[in-house]
Amino acid sequence: MLRKSVVITGATGGIGRETALLFAERGYNVVLSHHNAPTKELEKQIKDKGVEVKSFDLELEDEKSIKTFFDNAFKSFEYIDAIVLCAGIADKFQFLFEQEVPVIDKIINTNLRGTLLCNREALSYLTKQKHGNIVNIASIYGTSGGSFESAYSATKGAIIALTKSLAMEVAPFGLRVNAVAPGFIDTKMTAGIQGEARLQAIEQTPLKRLGTGKDIANMIYFLASEEASFITGECYSVTGGVLRFD
């Protein structure tokens, strides 16, 4: 029996890292993406779990880089079962009218265009093998909006729409596409939010704590697993009970 494999973009981030480790614990070979960040330590941790791991560079703003990454990923292992697209960026809290256009372009090109092209390349392979699934990472800001995060929120809302559209598009191939919308998660992306703002986020969360990368990884793994074989086109919020952050 072939060992299942998973492809994870943004594997050096908090959510991506925990997702890679969880899939490895469950016996999956892992393909990681990296860009300007080392993966050697993570690769060792994955290998220590008795599975294989490959790591390739990925620049989400570069179409050729995306194509090359997925070419390498699908050549690495014979049975790619899941694609998890964690890679993305955010910027400092700012009024939209104060945000520079190059910053807006980078957020859109990385989060939305990059994610869309990753789905495109992954599906060019998955539709041929007629098996597998994709999990996109959205955000609570994509479902309810986020003050001072308009461009980021717009990209995450679009990822949810993309997920729902693709789920219908590729269902005839036996493929599934879902998304996860994290709340406030304690990762490097949110490390700059400290003091009163951080305490306020905890206070607004009914479970009275920040989420962890493992919290999100657990939902990602469930959606990629056979236990979710009749779930597609959905976006699951993992927020500790919060409906929106003010």
Q: Which residues are catalytic?
A: 152
Termini Cα distance of the chain: 50
Which tokens is 203 given? 């206070």
| C-alpha closest to that of 140 among 131, 130, 149, 127 | 149
Residue given tokens 């892992």 in the structure block: 30
CB atoms within 10 A of CB 168: 11
Q: What is the DSSP letter of 64?
A: H
d(CA 38, CA 112): 24
Half-sphere exposure of 226 (CA within 13 A, CB side): 2
CA dihedral 221, 89, 93, 214 (to 10 degrees): 20
Alpha-carbon torsion angle 229, 235, 236, 238, nearest 10: 140
Q: Which two tokens stand for residue 223?
A: 């959606």
- Please list, in sequence order, all residues whose beta carbon lies within 8 angstroms of the beta carbon of residue 157, skipping any fewer than 6 positions away: 138, 141, 142, 143, 145
Q: How far is the C-alpha of 99 from the C-alpha of 148, rounded, in Å?
A: 10
Nearest CA to 231 out of 156, 146, 134 is that of 134
